[in-house]
Structure 1
Amino acid sequence: MTNEPAAVFEAVTKAYGSVRAADGLDLTVRRGETVALLGRNGAGKSTALGLLLGLDTPDSGRVALFGGAPGRAVAAGRVGAMLQEGRPVPRVTVSELLGFVAGTYPEPIPVADTLALAGLTAMADRRVDRLSGGQAQRVRFAVALAGDPDLIVLDEPTSALDVEARGEFWAAMRGYARRGHTVLFSTHYLEEADAFADRIVVLDGGRIVADGTPELLKRAAGGALVAVDLAGTPGASLSGLPGVTEVEIRGDRARLRTDDPDSTVRALAVRNAIRGLEVSPLSLDDVFLGLTRAQDAHRKHPAHDLEQTR
């Protein structure tokens, strides 16, 4: 084991026509980290993963896996990937499929261990094409880790899964990460990133707009949420309270985003409008929405940004 990073992007650009899917991307993923890539549709997440896996090449800049070309690391079995596309293999059992995949790697995990890591031991003799959606997703995860890769890349791994299946999947992923491996995953489920990632990288327009632990990103966003029952108080009048930057009305309850929660609560108390008061830190959803709104506002003033971004 060396100190060489698991993955590196250096000033990477990639354009598809007029759209820049990667726009000067700089990112280093250290060994042993679990890193989540967040971003809206079209932010550049899948492009970044495709470049990392050698499925595409950058227009400029450098992408490296374990200090070398992505294709070399993939061919050596050091990287496992679970991409969005995929369909069940017909007429083979789970253990047969994993045995075949393991045989293509120089130092695979024993099939029994792979089954256990993915939570598939009880389904070893079942046909892959007769599994439920959640079970099939775990098979795809098992295929990705069958070669005992140093890095596993997951592109929207729990998309379309129900809550129970998502929980089972992440339990399996945690078992893999605890072995000291590196995990890089993209997701639209922000609560998954908050719960399972050591570090979160937010992409927008092919650029990194935030990078840090979930706790650090929440603290950096500043402020808090103050929620109260309206109890006859006009929601529109709340926007003028001290510190309030945003008001959201949900039925008979108001959620106030504020930069100064103490002043906001005092002003509510003066109005005798603190029924059902709740003060909480910003969630990762709030942080993400704030970041993307800031990027949208920035793009409306092209004088501040001479490069065209998506």
Structure 2
Amino acid sequence: MSSNDAQGMAPLAELRGASKRYGATMALEGLDFRVGRGEIVALLGPNGAGKTTALGLLNGRLSADSGRVSLLGGDPRDWRVRQRLGVMLQEARLPDQLRVGEYLQLFASHYPEPRPIDEVLALTGLEALVSRRHDALSGGEQRRLQFALAIIGRPALLLVDEPTVGLDIEARQRFWQLIRRLRGEGLAMVLTTHYLDEADALADRIVVIGSGRVLAEGTPAGIKARAAGKRLRFRSALPLAEIAALSGLDAVKMEQGVVEARSHAPEAALRQLLMRDPQLAELEVLPLKLDDAFLVLTADAARHKEAA
């Protein structure tokens, strides 16, 4: 539950018991999901988990087979409601003939109080590209243009699908800074990303879904704590294959002589290691990274589904 819900404020967007089927495939199955005012929510899950379908319901592109979908207090299929929504999809098909400035002018004309074009150009670092055609932009520049088009209408809520795909590290960092600035202005956001460090850095709350259902929900720290286990780092004279065969250790790897592993039973694993290698050195017991927690939660969900 978000802090906004706890304070009795209606969420900006909500899926309540939402289900969606494509033929024999159940994309969403009774999904509950909400976004509070000024909140950044990261929606995570493996491919096929239902993330894109959930965004499609929120932006009005799709209709739920059952359940309730609410956007900014109204129906997302109503164009007047969608005027307060910004959307940046992973795949956008923009005609190549128009120039950056022409796109911004065109999109600004659809909103009653758009951001000034010069302001949007400065925010997204597109000032030098204002006269360049879309087909002359690099992949990263096209992503920046797509984001500029998503924010030009001063949305109350932004839906962003894999925003930094194709960007280098420096460009991703600049994008993160921009997101934090917009959030400081009160903008709420739903973010899907395969870069789990991105969710860890930006999100107030993370919702992990799989097979169309919520697997876990909470702050990044809470998600990591919920996936029981630790990371172990150490140096050992034991062969890596022998270490990997020990019970309680997962995802064992070695880099520059340092072994790193996940463990759902770190105390038992350490006892086995010390019995076999009393000279174990440089031992660190660390909390799980968000990447590790995500893998643990989705693997547990898959096992439960198979058992059912």
Query: TM-score under structure 2 normalisation?
Result: 0.88
8 Å CA contact retained: 1:81, 1:154: yes
* Cα drift, residue 175 of structure 1: 2.4
Q: Distance in 1 between matches of 2:251 and 2:90?
A: 37
Q: What is the aligned partner in structure 2 of residue 143 from structure 1?
A: 149
Q: What is the aligned partner in structure 1 of residue 111 from structure 2?
A: 105
Q: Distance in 1 between matches of 2:180 and 2:260?
A: 34
Q: Distance in 2 between matches of 1:297 and 1:260?
A: 18
Q: Distance in 2 between matches of 1:213 and 1:202?
A: 11
Q: Distance in 2 between matches of 1:19 and 1:92?
A: 39
8 Å CA contact retained: 1:88, 1:129: no
Residue deviations 1:50-83 (CA, integer Å, cap 9, x gap): 0111101011001000121012266551101011
2:76 paired with 1:70 = yes
Cα distance, 1:199–1:47 mapped onto 2, change above 3 Å: same
Cα distance, 1:116–1:247 mapped onto 2, change above 3 Å: closer
Which region of structure 1 is more displaced relative to structure 2, 213-222 or 82-91? Answer: 82-91
Q: What is the aligned partner in structure 2 of residue 86 from structure 1?
A: 92
Give the secondary-structure state (helix, strand or coil) at the position aligned to 1:255: strand
Selected match of 1:30 from 36, 46, 58:
36
2:279 paired with 1:250 = no
* Cα drift, residue 233 of structure 1: 4.7
Which runs of 5 or more structure 2 residues have no equivalent in the other structure? 1-7
Cα distance, 1:9–1:234 mapped onto 2, change above 3 Å: closer
Equivalent position amino acid for 1:170 in 2: W
Selected match of 1:160 from 143, 166, 185:
166
The alignment-based identity, stated in percent, is 43
Superposed CA RMSD? 2.4
Q: What is the aligned partner in structure 1 of residue 5 from structure 2?
A: none
* Cα drift, residue 98 of structure 1: 0.6
* Cα drift, residue 90 of structure 1: 3.0
Q: What is the aligned partner in structure 1 of residue 21 from structure 2?
A: 15
8 Å CA contact retained: 2:27, 2:211: yes
Q: Distance in 1 between matches of 2:80 and 2:86?
A: 8
Q: What is the aligned partner in structure 2 of residue 307 from structure 1?
A: none
Question: Which runs of structure 2 are paired with 1:214-229 in the superposition (5 Å)?
Answer: 214-229=220-235
Give the secondary-structure state (helix, strand or coil) at the position aligned to 1:277: strand
Query: TM-score under structure 1 normalisation?
Result: 0.88
Aligned residues: 300
